[in-house]
């Protein structure tokens, strides 16, 4: 979970904020869904919330699709944001990670990967990191074909 929404004075404006800690009702709902679908208890988590300190993909604010479920409004991160975050996580965790597999399943184009890489390359200060990012892109290009 990337963000929560803080109500603003202007009801047409959404202010995104760090999602952690999750509200208690949402934590219970996550646990219920995990139980009902045999998912890991932390299938929905706020791990990505740490990225608020470094900065989130610039595409995020404009790349959200809002859906209403009774009183619950859910913003689903769009495709470009997902590709960006998955590319970052895959470069960080390696090609055996679930994030890499998620990235392949998204079937990103080279244009989408390159756009994502611009932001991902500057998220880690180590000299090797841009190389890892390029390697992931190469793997994805190979594995999706």
Partner 1 sequence: MSIEIVHKIADVATTSAVDACWRQWRALGFPASATQNKEPTSIIDPEALVLLSTEVARHEHRLEDALAWWARTASTLLSVQRASSLLRTFPPSTCEAFSLFAVEAYDAGDRRWKRYVGKGMLAEGRRTKGPGAPTLTSPTALMLRLRAGFGVGVKTDLLTYLLGRRRHGATIKEAHNALFYTAPALRTAATEMALAALIRPDRERPVRYVADLGLWRALAANQEATTLAEQTNAILPVWYDWARLFAFLADVLVWAERAQTDGGTPYILSSRARDLVLPRLSTFTSNQIDVPDPKIYKGEAYLEGFKSTVEAVTHWLTYRL
| Number of residues in contact with partner 1 under rule CB under 8 A | 5
Query: Does the N-terminal peptide bond of residue 21 adopt cis geometry, omega within 30 degrees of 0?
Result: yes
Closest approach of partner 1 to the CB of residue 58, in Å: 35
Q: How far is the CB of 71 from partner 1 (least distance, A)?
A: 14
Q: Which of 4, 41, 8, 9 is nearest to 23 (CA)?
A: 4
Q: Tell me the HSE value of 62 on the side-chain side, using a 13 A CA sphere.
A: 3
Nearest to 1 by CA among 45, 60, 40: 45
Q: Could you give the CA distance from residue 96 to residue 80 in angstroms, rounded to a whole number?
A: 22
Segment interacting with partner 1 (CB under 8 A) among 36-44, 94-102, 106-114, 119-127 = 36-44
Q: CB of residue 72 vs partner 1: minimum separation in angstroms? A: 13
| Cβ nearer to partner 1, comparing 70 with 125 | 70
Rounded to a whole number of angstroms, the minimum distance from the CB of residue 99 to partner 1 is 23
Which spans of this chain sit near partner 1 (rule: CB under 8 A)?
A: 32, 35-38
């Amino acid at each position: 979970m990337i963000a929560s929404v803080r109500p603003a004075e202007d009801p047409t404006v959404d202010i995104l904020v760090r999602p952690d800690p999750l509200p208690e009702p949402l934590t219970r709902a996550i646990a219920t869904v995990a139980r009902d679908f045999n998912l890991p208890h932390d299938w929905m988590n706020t791990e990505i919330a740490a990225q608020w300190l470094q900065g989130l993909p610039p595409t995020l604010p404009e790349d959200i699709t809002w859906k209403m479920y009774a009183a619950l409004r859910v913003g689903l991160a769009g495709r470009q944001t997902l590709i960006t975050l998955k590319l970052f996580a895959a470069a960080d965790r390696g090609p055996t990670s679930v994030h890499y597999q998620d990235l392949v399943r998204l079937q990103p184009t080279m244009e989408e990967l390159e756009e994502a890489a611009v932001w991902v390359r500057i998220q880690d200060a180590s000299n090797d990191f841009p190389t890892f990012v390029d390697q992931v892109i190469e793997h994805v290009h190979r594995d999706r074909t």
